């Protein structure tokens, strides 16, 4: 250890101090930690076009055909994982319910069509990155299919939650 | 005269980094007596928020950098100041030092002398005063999109006898 310290001081002295002077070197470290930042940005509700009894209805997550796909936008500066923390199996209108199968997609912005995600069930990871180099944006899209439409007339709703977190 | 960190890195290569990790005191013969430089505390900026500049002043006890110098005689103190904190991935945060980022205190009850670490300061360990403390502050400027993670840099203090 002494040898290393001496090498440091000799080279340092040669740069700016008189050649005849004996110099001593002490080192400290400056440190900082940048926090992980996640920002909830724009969002859009998923809306199916009018559903006719007896006919399946769907909103294509990639093309948007069949209605208005939902999305939620996240900004991040750290490696992230987006999880579908609440993705109900049914939509409800009072006591009446209708089953729904979900489709998820992701894109880097709201102006582009998403690519479909492999998994879209409650608890599944729908988007992630482990090579973040600064601030970025990921948009998680949602579509789905209602297969059994032989239900009472009404407006059927459900709440969906996506959560972003560092890993 | 200001030290040029880039030049030092070229000359010393990995030696500086190894010395920093060890945080070992330097010791050499100083004419009037043996002098020692002991690192006491690193300069700690703590948690940063992207886009928000943060300054740690040399008067901030828990965060400022601190070194202890012991010896006898007249010395010149110079700093090898990095221009950025660097992450393991090679990302950087600019690190700047200003005119009031250094404080020198001679002896245990000496008066605080503010100085500019970019230009160093003379140190007189005479008249019964055998030691001094050097405090160092600085400012970091994380970008709005700064990636999260740990960033660090090495600061070297050189004490040479006049």
> Which residue blocks in A101-167 are alpha helix, DSSP H?
none
To the nearest whole Å, the CA of B98 is away from the closest chain A CA by 15
At B67, the pLDDT band (50, 70, 90 cuts) reads very high
Question: Can you tell me the distance from the alpha carbon of B133 to that of A2, in angstroms, rounded to the nearest whole number?
Answer: 22
β-strand pairing of B65-70 with A90-93: unpaired
φ/ψ region of A64 (left if φ > 0, alpha if ψ in -120 to 50, else beta) reads left
B52 touches A at CB < 8 Å: no
Which range (A132-146, B6-20, B141-155) has the least confidence? B6-20
B99 touches A at CB < 8 Å: no
Model ipTM value: 0.80
Is the pLDDT assigned to residue A12 strictly greater than 50?
no
Is the pLDDT assigned to residue B40 strictly greater than 70?
yes
- Helix (H) and strand (E) counts in chain B: 2, 14
pLDDT of residue A51: 87
At A117, the pLDDT band (50, 70, 90 cuts) reads confident
Contact B151, B99 (CB under 8 A): no
Distances in Å between the Cα of B108 and the Cα atoms of A103, B69, B78, B105, B133 are 70, 12, 22, 8, 9
Is the pLDDT assigned to residue A146 strictly greater than 70?
yes
Distances in Å between the Cα of B25 and the Cα atoms of A9, A83, B68, B132 are 11, 50, 9, 14
pLDDT of residue B33: 58
Interface contacts A/B by beta carbons within 8 Å: 215
pLDDT of residue B51: 94
Phi, psi of B59 (to 5 degrees): -95, -5
pLDDT of residue B21: 30
Higher confidence at residue B60 or residue A54? B60
Rounded to an integer, the average pLDDT of B25-29 is 50
pTM of the model: 0.73
- The residue to which tokens 């582009």 are assigned: A112
The sign of the torsion formed by the CA atoms of B116, B68, B43, B17 equals positive
Residues of B within 8 A of A77 (CB-CB) are 50, 145-148
The sign of the torsion formed by the CA atoms of B5, B6, B10, B11 equals negative
Surface of A (107-166) touching B: CB under 8 A: 132-136, 166
Dump the DSSP string for A18-72.
-TT--EEEEEEEEEEEEPP-EEEEEEE--EEPPPPTTS-EEE-TTT-TTEE-EEE
Is the pLDDT assigned to residue B115 strictly greater than 90?
yes
At A119, the pLDDT band (50, 70, 90 cuts) reads confident
pLDDT in tens, B78-96: 999 999 999 999 999 999 9
Chain-chain contact of B12 with A31 (C-beta, under 8 angstroms): no
Residue (of A77, A67, A22) closest to A45 by Cα position: A67
At A20, the pLDDT band (50, 70, 90 cuts) reads very low
Is the pLDDT assigned to residue A114 strictly greater than 70?
yes
pLDDT of residue B124: 94
Rounded to an integer, the average pLDDT of B94-106 is 98
pLDDT in tens, A40-81: 999 999 999 988 888 899 999 999 999 999 999 999 999 999
Rounded to an integer, the average pLDDT of A133-160 is 92
To the nearest whole Å, the CA of A141 is away from the closest chain B CA by 24
Angle at A83 between CA B88 and CA B49, to 5 degrees: 40
Rounded to an integer, the average pLDDT of B125-133 is 94
Question: Can you tell me the distance from the alpha carbon of B63 to that of B69, in angstroms, rounded to the nearest whole number?
Answer: 19
What lies within 8 Å, CB to CB, of B113 at 6+ separation is B103, B104, B105, B106, B121
């Amino acid at each position: 250890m002494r040898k290393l310290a001496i090498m440091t001081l000799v080279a340092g002295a040669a740069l700016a101090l008189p050649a005849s002077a004996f110099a001593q070197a002490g080192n400290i470290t400056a440190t900082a930690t940048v926090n992980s930042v996640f920002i909830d940005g724009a969002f859009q509700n998923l809306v199916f076009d009018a559903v006719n009894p007896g006919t399946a209805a769907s909103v294509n997550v990639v093309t948007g055909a069949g209605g208005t796909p939902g999305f939620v936008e996240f900004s991040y500066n750290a490696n992230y994982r987006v999880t579908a923390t609440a993705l109900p199996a049914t939509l409800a209108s009072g006591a009446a319910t209708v089953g729904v199968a979900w489709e998820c997609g992701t894109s880097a912005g709201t102006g582009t069509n998403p690519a479909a995600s492999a998994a879209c069930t409650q608890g599944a990871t729908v988007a992630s990155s482990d090579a973040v180099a600064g601030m970025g944006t990921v948009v998680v899209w949602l579509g789905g299919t209602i297969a059994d439409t032989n239900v009472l007339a009404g407006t059927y709703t459900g709440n969906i939650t996506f959560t972003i977190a560092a890993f | 005269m200001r030290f040029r960190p880039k030049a030092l890195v070229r000359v010393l290569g990995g030696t500086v980094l190894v010395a920093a990790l060890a945080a070992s005191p330097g010791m050499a013969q100083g004419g009037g007596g043996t002098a020692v430089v002991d690192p006491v505390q690193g300069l700690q900026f703590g948690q940063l928020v992207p886009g928000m500049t943060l300054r740690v002043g040399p008067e901030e006890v828990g965060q400022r950098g601190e070194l202890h110098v012991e010896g006898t005689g007249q010395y010149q103190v110079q700093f090898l100041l990095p221009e950025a904190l660097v992450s393991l991935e090679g990302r950087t945060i600019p690190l700047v030092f200003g005119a009031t980022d250094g404080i020198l205190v001679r002896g245990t009850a000496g008066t605080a002398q503010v100085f500019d670490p970019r230009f160093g300061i003379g140190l007189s360990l005479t008249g019964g005063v055998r030691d001094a403390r050097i405090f160092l502050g600085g400012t970091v400027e994380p970008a709005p999109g700064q990636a999260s993670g740990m960033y660090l840099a090495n600061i070297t203090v050189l004490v040479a006898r006049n």
